[in-house]
Amino acid sequence: MENIRTITALAALAATLSAPLAAAPTAPSIPYEKYRLSNGLEVILAQDRSLPLVAVDIWYHVGAANEESSRTGFAHLFEHMMFTGTKHVPRGVAEKLLEAAGGSDSNATTSFDRTNYFDTVPSNQLELALWAHADRMGYLLDSLDQTALSNQQDVVRNKRRQRIENQPYGIVDEAVFHALFPVGHPYRPVVMGSHVDIQSARLADVRDFFKRYYRPNNATLVIAGDFDPSNAKKLVQKY
């Protein structure tokens, strides 16, 4: 009986091995156009007329991997600083304008190698979204002050408490990255950073970070959805 079971198992295994492998799924083909402005900004346009919406996403090529060892969490902290208002637009006004215009999915994320800011708006509000992103890139530095920094330090530290320290298994990711990457590796610190490093950030550090990384030649602007490419290019050039 045991021999019969063994033979049956071997036959089943042989049949499995001889069966043709399932075809690997193919990645969707998304047509796009990519070009670069004279100031170094990379632009990617991907038209899709299926819905009367357009998404605007600007990627700055900086993240946790660019931080100094004593400045963990700095890229994420600066993500929050980008919403504290600019020279021309007080805090929260741009977000209210986008929401009033039908915008949604307005947010930002930070990873090891990039920080991105995005909005989805009705097709006829593309200019508003581009204006909001351009205003932050061009005029945030003039409004950065200690009050804004102190407020966002508290916000980010509370976010760490909520998402890591007060969550079941919240510290697992941190422990895994510490196990995978040695001291000194850019991927060892978690994106959220430590309380000590977040609280020790100085206003001069924040301003230097902006000037070093938040430049057109260190960013990629992606526009995807229902838009006219010719008009989009004019608006990108304008803002």
Q: Which residues pair with 107 in a beta bridge?
A: 118
Q: Measured between alpha carbons, how far is 214 from 220 in angstroms, rounded to an integer?
A: 11
Q: In this structure, which amino acid lies at residue 15? A: A
Side-chain half-sphere CA neighbours of 90 within 13 A = 0
| H/E run at residue 127 | helix 126-139
Virtual torsion, Cα 203, 150, 135, 232, nearest 10 deg: 110
**Residues classed as catalytic:** 79
Label residue 47 exposed, middle or buried (CB < 10 Å: 0-12, 13-18, 19+): middle
Structure tokens at 74: 């700095």
| DSSP helix/strand/coil, 233 | helix
| CA gap 231, 186 in Å, rounded | 40
